[in-house]
Structure 1
Amino acid sequence: MTEATLTIVATCNGVEVPDAPILGPRMIEAMNNHRYERQEIECGLAVIPKGARILEMGAGAGVVGAVLAKNCAPVSILSIEANPGLLPHINRLYAHNGLQDLISVRHAVVFSAPDAPGTVTFNVAGNFLGSSLTELPGKKTRAVEVPVLRYSDLTKEYPHDTIMMDIEGGELDFLRHADLSGVNLVILEMHRDAYGREGMQEIRNLFLDKGFTLNEEQSKVGVHIWCRLMGPDQG
């Protein structure tokens, strides 16, 4: 499909979304009605400062990252996506909207544990929103091997001050080991079903221990905004 033959099926916060087999009618409708990942997008637009260097963990269809690139005036965005089937569509979306110099996508899974393996099995569902590192009983998925990117290496390769994270329940394990000393802002979708009440409390405690405070005013149901506490000499 060339640029000249692209069919635009949705517009979301100024981002035009080309037709792709990964997009079903309901998803397209949600994008046009600004309901697709609404909480994540609203949180990002509300708090990400101009000039941010953003790491997006879980690119999905590429729309959330593209909206941030178009509207938040970041220096750059690096998106990480485990599902290899999404990458061509994400890149087409970026290119069509003229964002390819601001945002790029990489096929990988980010682990922070020091003993992280070199690759990991990722379970791809028919609807990409249901894909996960965890194999869910009764759910038809296709297993693919995905390269693991160690977070300690990633921070050296791509220093960043902001993280947008939606990794379907993998947030807790990531936070247990991640050194976030260079990060000032984390926006993450919470998956209570994946880690329960105790896991939710552990996430809260991990952020507090790492010097962050919850922005309760601008957080949404299911999406939390954590900001680093600044001293009086830090602005």
Structure 2
Amino acid sequence: MPNTLRLHGLSVPISPDDVSDIIWSALQDGSYEAKEARWAVKAVRPNDRILELGSGIGVITSLLAGVEGAHVMAFEANPHTVRLAEIVIKANNRNNVALEHGLLTAGPSRDFTFYVREDLWMSSLLKHQGPYIDTIQVKSSNIDEFITSFNVDLVVMDIEGAELDLLTHARLPGVERVFLEFHDHLYGLEGVRQVTSAMADKGFAYDPRGSSGPCVLFSRNTDPRTYEPEDIHAAA
């Protein structure tokens, strides 16, 4: 039977054989996606329709789905990771999640090579990111068409550098908020500038009330929001 860990208030019933030693250690000591777990959930509002890109093993997915009235549509390109995410989502009774194996990208559907790495969180579309153990072919779907079809309010993404191309070229029609993790070690501060500029052109502003380090919230809504005391302490 798989081990049942407790992580960020969730049950994570997976085995050390399912992940690398580095990821297993992070799961055990509670550091796995700890900052993302704190800040991504703060981007969610009750009854949000959430699109998550890069679900990983389903930890952030399950946390997002725990917000009242939320519905999560999640995509993950690695089929092994999808299987783990399905286990975690089911273990936490998140019946408001639709999880798919696939990719959403800007522009027409096309085939991509996805590079699978031992540390699942390093798997990506980028060959130069480091040594990989396998490749798979994944056909993309158009993100803007998906957003329009499902009336998405919030996009959450952790896609290992692919956010640079996606957010530069996607229109994100009707989306109110975008939460992402920057991977500046892959594209430098110039890439961060490109994403920030592209988001501003779409009407989004960097929202410091929901951002911390590389975990960044962009918002269209300019209504005033107050800081919670613990957020001020965490950002200090």
Provide the C-alpha distance between the structure 1 equivalents of 2:130 and 2:83, rounded to a whole number of angstroms: 29
Shift of 1:6: 4.7
Provide the C-alpha distance between the structure 2 equivalents of 1:201 and 1:130, rounded to a whole number of angstroms: 23
What is the aligned partner in structure 2 of residue 129 from structure 1?
121
Asked if 1:84 corresponds to 2:79, the answer is yes
Matches within 5 A, 1:132-151: 132-136=124-128, 139-151=131-143
Matches within 5 A, 1:54-203: 54-70=50-66, 72-99=67-94, 101-113=95-107, 116-136=108-128, 139-203=131-195
CA RMSD, aligned part only?
A: 2.0
Kindly indicate whether the alpha-carbon contact (under 8 Å) linking 1:57 and 1:80 is maintained by their aligned counterparts in 2: yes
CA 1:128 to 1:180, structure 2 compared with 1: closer, same or farther past 3 Å?
same
Gaps of 5+ in 2: 225-236
Kindly indicate whether the alpha-carbon contact (under 8 Å) linking 1:56 and 1:80 is maintained by their aligned counterparts in 2: yes
What is the aligned partner in structure 2 of residue 23 from structure 1?
19
Deviations 1:40-98 (Å, cap 9, x if unpaired)?
1111222311111110000111111111212x224310110000111222112111211
Provide the C-alpha distance between the structure 2 equivalents of 1:57 and 1:184, rounded to a whole number of angstroms: 16
Shift of 1:13: 2.5
Kindly indicate whether the alpha-carbon contact (under 8 Å) linking 2:116 and 2:124 is maintained by their aligned counterparts in 1: yes
Kindly indicate whether the alpha-carbon contact (under 8 Å) linking 1:15 and 1:97 is maintained by their aligned counterparts in 2: yes
Aligned to 2:47, the other structure's residue is in SS state coil
Shift of 1:117: 4.3
Kindly indicate whether the alpha-carbon contact (under 8 Å) linking 2:147 and 2:172 is maintained by their aligned counterparts in 1: no
Aligned to 2:210, the other structure's residue is in SS state coil
Aligned to 1:129, the other structure's residue is in SS state helix
What is the aligned partner in structure 1 of residue 231 from structure 2?
none
Query: So what's the TM-score if we normalise by structure 1?
Result: 0.87
Residue 206 (structure 1) aligned to one of 175, 198, 202? 198
Q: How many residues are matched?
A: 223
Provide the C-alpha distance between the structure 1 equivalents of 2:174 and 2:82, rounded to a whole number of angstroms: 28
Shift of 1:202: 1.1
Kindly indicate whether the alpha-carbon contact (under 8 Å) linking 1:54 and 1:77 is maintained by their aligned counterparts in 2: yes
Shift of 1:166: 0.6
Gaps of 5+ in 1: none
Equivalent residue letter for 1:229: N
Provide the C-alpha distance between the structure 1 equivalents of 2:129 and 2:52, rounded to a whole number of angstroms: 28
Aligned to 1:215, the other structure's residue is in SS state strand
